[in-house]
Amino acid sequence: MVFGKGPAAVQALQEISLSFGKGDFVCVVGPSGCGKTTLMQTLAGFLQPTTGTVTVDGRAIAAPGPERGVVFQQPALFPWRTVEANAGFGPEMRGEDPMHRRGRVESWLRRVGLLEFRHRYPYELSGGMQQRLAIVRALVNEPLLLLMDEPFGALDALTREKMQEELHAVWRSSGMTVLFITHSVEEAVYLGTQVVVMSPRPGRIIESIMTPFARQEGERDIRAIKSSPAFVAMREHILGLIWGSAEG
């Protein structure tokens, strides 16, 4: 991906090759300015790569589409619409049957603990609740792929861990596919089935690492997992890759 032309041209991504399967939770980490968001925007269809192709389910991506849900760092909700109306915005714009739409919206709001707030407005919700609503708005479209660009970056540490647990619960129960961008290596190692480490600009993939913690069965204690020797070792390995690439 190259922005601009001639002497002013900036190469954001270089020789990126990445694939992942249905039900994977792919986390992308790397230093600031390495092209993480640019990579996500090509998958969303907001940007077309200068060379190469991007495909989802075997189809080339030419523009944004409902099969790819996008959640940004800031919720970007419509302040004049209620929680319920925000959640159902996508199906409403596609002209979906109101009864079918309402049932699906209520189901997702119930799943994330927002059903009792369905007649409230975004300003009446906490930051974490607003981000849950933004996630629901994407999920109501039943996307093949959920794209998330640092969705928990603005939250305090406690709310962030609660949101990690809630997102994981939705992912594990729904079997959706997620690409998740984050600056937090700890978050990536905990959430991801795969962690993709990118270099400084022009962004390249240094290493793609399969991580076991997301699919652990049985009782899940987030603090116990994050303090385990295996988790700490993997976190430090990835941090070393990022620091080494930045120094190089």
Per-residue model confidence as pLDDT tens digits over 81-135: 999 999 998 888 888 888 888 888 998 898 878 999 999 999 999 888 898 898 8
Q: What residue spans in the chain does CATH classification 3.40.50.300 cover?
A: 12-67+144-248
Arithmetic mean of pLDDT, 165-186: 88
Return all residues near 209 (Cβ < 8 A) that are at least 6 apart: 194, 195, 196, 197, 234, 237, 238
Give me the DSSP letters along 53-94: --EETTEE--S--TTEEEE-SS----TTS-HHHHHTHHHHHT
CATH topology of domain 12-67+144-248: Rossmann fold (3.40.50)
Per-residue model confidence as pLDDT tens digits over 188-238: 999 999 999 999 989 999 999 999 998 877 667 888 888 999 999 999 999
Per-residue model confidence as pLDDT tens digits over 37-88: 999 999 999 999 999 999 988 889 989 988 888 888 777 899 999 999 999 9
